[in-house]
Amino acid sequence: MIRLDSVDLIFNSGLPNEMTALKNINLSVEKNELTLLRGASGSGKSSIFSLIAGLVKPSRGDVIIDGKSIAKIPDSFAALMRRDKLGVIFQKFNLIHDLSVYDNITLPLIPSAKTTSEIRLSAEKILTDLTLTNKINTAVRYLSGGEQQRVAIARALINQPKIILADEPTANLDQALIESFLHIIHDLKAKGITILLASHDPRFSELEWVDQVIDIAHGEIQ
């Protein structure tokens, strides 16, 4: 479902601030697998997510999503691939602060064939799962960190993507919310979704339904 073949990622190539973020990454995630990506801050976890989401291009090697190479496709094609296949929970949330919770999570569905009432139903369902219903019309700028994190989770899940990329999705959640996030992930796995999760949280390493653990240090898989 996801493959990185001999991938290097170099930022600012040829400039004095050149930075090799990833070196010779080979990684394979099969359909319906839950893969945990672990590594210290700065090791390259988010860089791997950016490559898989088509937000950055590899300097060398290939990135293959659902059988198709995305290493050289134009940004507009990468955006379509993200919309059709991926749900991404960004580490920095990437929410639109002036818009309400409802608008933030339903915006990705506007180009879809869904009707407004179908969209509303999907939004209400996911907000109930994440105990956010009472904030549905609140602008994101007024939400706490944990609430914003849950909006980011809701936005990633609402489109029922085949693949979920979750970058430190529990960093701002308390114990009870982490438990409900784990239930959500478990349900998604039961539905056949492929999940790649980056986290420092030792709770994830202990889960018996994690299929693969990848340790990364200084841009290299260990």
Ligand X SMILES: Nc1ncnc2c1ncn2[C@@H]1O[C@H](COP(=O)(O)OP(=O)(O)OP(=O)(O)O)[C@@H](O)[C@H]1O
User: Does 46 interact with Mg ion (rule: CB under 5 A)?
Assistant: yes
Distance in angstroms (rounded) separating the CA atoms of residues 49 and 46: 5
- Minimum CB separation of residue 83 from ligand X in Å reads 23
Distance in angstroms (rounded) separating the CA atoms of residues 164 and 180: 17
Q: Which of 19, 80, 121, 190 binds ligand X (CB under 6 A)?
A: 19
Q: 194 φ, ψ to 5°?
A: -95, 130
**Stretch 86-115 residues interacting with Mg ion (CB under 5 A):** 91
Angle value at C-alpha 83, between 77 and 84, nearest 5 degrees: 90
Query: Residue 26's CB: how many other CB atoms inside 10 A?
Result: 11
Contact stretch for Mg ion (CB under 5 A) within 40-48, 56-64, 71-79, 153-161: 40-48
User: Does 217 interact with ligand X (rule: CB under 6 A)?
Assistant: no
Q: Which is nearer to ligand X, 38 or 150 (CB)?
A: 38
- Minimum CB separation of residue 110 from ligand X in Å reads 29
- Residues 6 or more apart whose Cβ sits within 8 Å of residue 13: 59
| Size (the chain), residues | 222
Q: Which of 4, 35, 36, 44 binds ligand X (CB under 6 A)?
A: 44
CA atoms within 13 A on the CB side of 94: 14
Q: Which is nearer to ligand X, 19 or 121 (CB)?
A: 19
Q: Which is nearer to ligand X, 46 or 122 (CB)?
A: 46
> Residues interacting with ligand X, by CB under 6 A?
11-12, 19, 21, 39, 41-47, 91
